[in-house]
Amino acid sequence: MTGQIALVGAGLGDPELLTVKGLRKIKQADVIVYDRLINPAILNSCKVDCEKIYVGKKPNYHPVPQEKIEEIMIEKAQQGLNVVRLKSGDPYVFGRGGEEGASLKQAGISFEVIPGITSSIGGLAYAGIPITHRDLAADFHVYTGHLNNSEREIDWSTAAKVEGTLVFLMGMSGLKKITEQLIFHGKDKHTPAAIIQWASRKQQKTVVGTLETIFDKTSAAKLQPPSLIVIGEVVTRRKDLNFFEERPLYSISIAIPFTKKKKMTSRLTDLGAEIIELPPSDTRIYDQTIDFSQPHQIVFTDSLSVDVFIRAMKVQKIDWRKLADWQFISVGHHTGTILEKAGIRADFDFPDFEKYLEESEGQSKSLILGDSWMIGKLTEQGVIGTKLITHEEKITVEIPDLWQKADFMYFPNSKAARLFLSALAEEELVVVAQKKIIVMGQKTKAVFDDYQLSVIQTAEPSFDCVVEKIKEEMKR
């Protein structure tokens, strides 16, 4: 059976600008074929076993030819796999999606197109420039800035005469020619113009001038691709509509652990920070056979240990009534909550691991269930009793090195810090030592202390304190 292919537009770069349908297709994909400008955080939504194939291109550097990209998609689909071709912006706005769709059709492979927010509209919006405006521009025209194909030369005479907004994508190398040709063909040299670099990302920078001055201003500001060129009266609205570049955390990036709820990610993003999301961890469950022949004092160290215990009861056909003389201990408030949902109220509930260690001495009849790290810690501390590893959690995929360029790192809890640090090579730990790392609590700080890494601890464990600490450090 032949798989299906979705040509998905990833939008500008901010992962939250991805469409709901595009995200669903990414979550379902067996294979992701993705471009250079894709935010790596989007790939965190893939299945654990999803194959990720990078086919990124840079100006004048195409390591994977277009024909090979199409061959890869066709080959994977013929293997019965569902493929997502993940492209920046929109697949059909100078993205060669039309060529890819035609090749798939010719090969007899079913495909669909999921549009993305094109930078020609969304990128302008992030710079405070509306592509149309009731009083200033009733139409707009989008051109490719690649001017090296004489057979497809822009009709400069027509472009110079249009009244609306002109947008050029991928045109930084031809900026001088664009401005000169428009002026030569009659465009007023005083027409407002702007260049927007890396729209919606930390590196976003906007330079405003006129058709006559914009090349020199851009050169002085050292703007680099990817950048947008916009020409027209709508540029004058930037002074009133610029929102992104005025946010308090604009121009900084913060690396944070992956979370499904994205609460902290969203709040920091809304303040203007670019979030570099670390990859999610992978959990391997170990089903254990438990001795139910005699009563135990059983210790649950996390929610998954509760799940494994209940599963063992079902497999071994154990009735709850057989456990009437057992004693149940939970470590951590969340563990106790999960235990109660399973119909068990803990006899003892320790708020955290450290408190349990203080009071666990001499409990030789305890049956302790937990992950490999927790069981290892208990063994190191000399805690006696029967210990069963119920699961192992770690970051198993390669961590993109984008976090190394982050201005800050933030870890909300000790577990997230431990998973990240244990996944790094020694040379990467050297990089961590040079980063500004924000943590909210002493337990998280203790994880870094074990690695002899310094961190910045907030006064209180709250979001507001995290933001204030980041602002303080931004001023240094």
Over residues 244-297, the pLDDT tens digits come to 999 999 999 999 999 988 889 999 999 999 999 999 999 999 988 998 888 888
Which pLDDT tens digit goes with each residue over 404-447? 999 999 999 999 999 999 999 999 999 999 999 999 989 899 99
pLDDT of residue 153: 82
Tell me if the bond preceding 226 is cis, omega within 30° of 0. Answer: yes
pLDDT of residue 380: 81
pLDDT band at 364 (very low <50, low <70, confident <90, very high): low
Which pLDDT tens digit goes with each residue over 133-150? 999 999 999 998 876 555
Domain with CATH 3.40.1010.10 in the chain: 5-117
Spatial separation of the C-alpha atoms in residues 40 and 13, rounded to whole Å: 9
CATH topology for the 5-117 domain: Cobalt-precorrin-4 Transmethylase; domain 1 (3.40.1010)
| 299-331 core/surface letters (b: 16 or more CB in 10 A; e: else) | bbbbbbbbbbbbebbeeeeeeeeebeebbbbbb
Q: Is 57 a catalytic residue?
A: yes
Q: Are strands 83-87 and 31-34 parallel, antiparallel or unpaired?
A: parallel
Which pLDDT tens digit goes with each residue over 17-66? 999 999 999 999 999 999 988 998 999 999 989 999 999 877 666 788 99
Sign of CA dihedral 301, 306, 307, 311: positive
Nearest CA-CA partner of 414 in 248, 302, 336:
302
Virtual torsion, Cα 237, 243, 246, 248, nearest 10 deg:
170
CA atoms within 13 A on the CB side of 309: 28
Domain 283-394 in CATH 3.40.50.10090? yes
- 7 Cβ contact partners less than 8 Å away, ≥ 6 residues apart: 85, 87, 91, 97, 100, 101, 111, 112, 113, 114
Token output for 380: 């190191």
Q: Is residue 57 a contact partner of residue 63, using CB atoms and an 8 Å limit?
A: yes
CATH topology for the 121-246 domain: 3.30.950
Nearest CA-CA partner of 40 in 88, 7, 8, 77:
88
Spatial separation of the C-alpha atoms in residues 456 and 470, rounded to whole Å: 10
pLDDT of residue 293: 86
CB atoms within 10 A of CB 455: 19
Spatial separation of the C-alpha atoms in residues 262 and 176, rounded to whole Å: 43
Catalytic residue among 35, 307, 394, 443: 35
Spatial separation of the C-alpha atoms in residues 470 and 267, rounded to whole Å: 13
Place of tokens 């927007």: 196
Q: Is residue 301 a contact partner of residue 332, using CB atoms and an 8 Å limit?
A: yes
pLDDT band at 360 (very low <50, low <70, confident <90, very high): low
Which pLDDT tens digit goes with each residue over 91-136? 999 989 999 999 999 999 999 999 999 999 999 999 999 999 999 9
* CA distances (Å), origin 355, targets 97, 306, 344, 348: 58, 20, 21, 12
Q: How many residues does the chain have?
A: 476
Q: Can you name the residues that pair with 183 across neighbouring β-strands?
A: none
Which pLDDT tens digit goes with each residue over 162-192? 989 999 999 999 999 999 999 999 999 999 9
Spatial separation of the C-alpha atoms in residues 318 and 326, rounded to whole Å: 13
pLDDT of residue 60: 67
Spatial separation of the C-alpha atoms in residues 137 and 130, rounded to whole Å: 9
CATH code assigned to 253-281+397-474: 3.40.50.10090
Which pLDDT tens digit goes with each residue over 444-458? 999 999 999 999 999
pLDDT of residue 151: 53
Catalytic residue among 170, 172, 409, 440: 170
How big is the chain by its Cα radius of gyration, in Å?
28
Domain with CATH 3.30.950.10 in the chain: 121-246
Q: Are strands 165-169 and 227-231 parallel, antiparallel or unpaired?
A: antiparallel
Spatial separation of the C-alpha atoms in residues 264 and 286, rounded to whole Å: 31
Spatial separation of the C-alpha atoms in residues 228 and 120, rounded to whole Å: 7
Catalytic residue among 52, 57, 177, 365: 57
SS (H, E, C) the chain: CCCCEEEEECECCCHHHCCHHHHHHHHHCCEEEECCCCCHHHHHHCCCCCEEEECCCECCECCCCHHHHHHHHHHHHHCCCCEEEEECECCCCCCCHHHHHHHHHHCCCCEEEECCCCHHHHHHHHCCCCCCECCCECCEEEEECCCCCHHHCCCHHHHHHCCCEEEEECCHHHHHHHHHHHHHCCCCCCCEEEEEECCCCCCCEEEEEECCCHHHHHHHHCCCCCEEEEECHHHHHHHHHCCHHHCCCCCCEEEECCCCCCHHHHHHHHCCCEEEECCCCEEEECCCCCCCCCCCEEEECCHHHHHHHHHHHHHCCCCHHHHCCCEEEEECHHHHHHHHHCCCCCCEEECCHHHHHHHCCCCCCEEEEEEHHHHHHHHHCCCCCEEEEEEEEECCCCCCHHHHHCCEEEECCHHHHHHHHHCCCHHHHHHHCCCEEEECCHHHHHHHHHCCCCCEECCCCCHHHHHHHHHHHHCC
Domain with CATH 3.40.50.10090 in the chain: 253-281+397-474, 283-394
